[in-house]
Amino acid sequence: MEVSLVESKKKNEKKRNKLEITDKDFKDKVLESSKTVLVMFWGSWCPVCKRSQPMIEELSIEKGKDIEVFTLNIDRNPHMATHYDVMGTPNFCIFKNGKLVVRRFGAQSTKQILEMLENL
């Protein structure tokens, strides 16, 4: 049975919504997590961010037992973006024990993100 384009878009949107966090739940989901957390700060106007979204979704599936993976839209959630001095997107931040331990700005490959995680 063939999946329609509309059904496929809805399915992808549900995945994205599970990964999306806000200023309100950042503390609970990121800072108080017992796992290492990867957060991609992004903007809806950013083409590199849009291209990075499938990679983030894949990482959340592949590494979900070991790490938490989230995205945070900086336009809708300016407080956390300002707090962590996010000046451009995408901005990949890794938190461990509630502390920011690694940050990379700009396009990153899956390999680069995995290296960031492995080198903690």
Section 45-65 average pLDDT: 95
Q: What is the pLDDT of residue 15?
A: 47
* Class of CATH domain 5-118: alpha beta
Q: Domain limits of the chain? A: 5-118
Question: Which residues fall within 8 angstroms of residue 4, CB to CB, at 6 or more apart?
Answer: none
- pLDDT confidence of 120, banded at 50, 70, 90? confident
Res. 18: pLDDT tops 90: no
SS3 at position 49: helix
Evaluate whether 106 touches 88 at the Cβ level (below 8 Å): yes
Q: Which residue has the higher pLDDT, 14 or 92?
A: 92
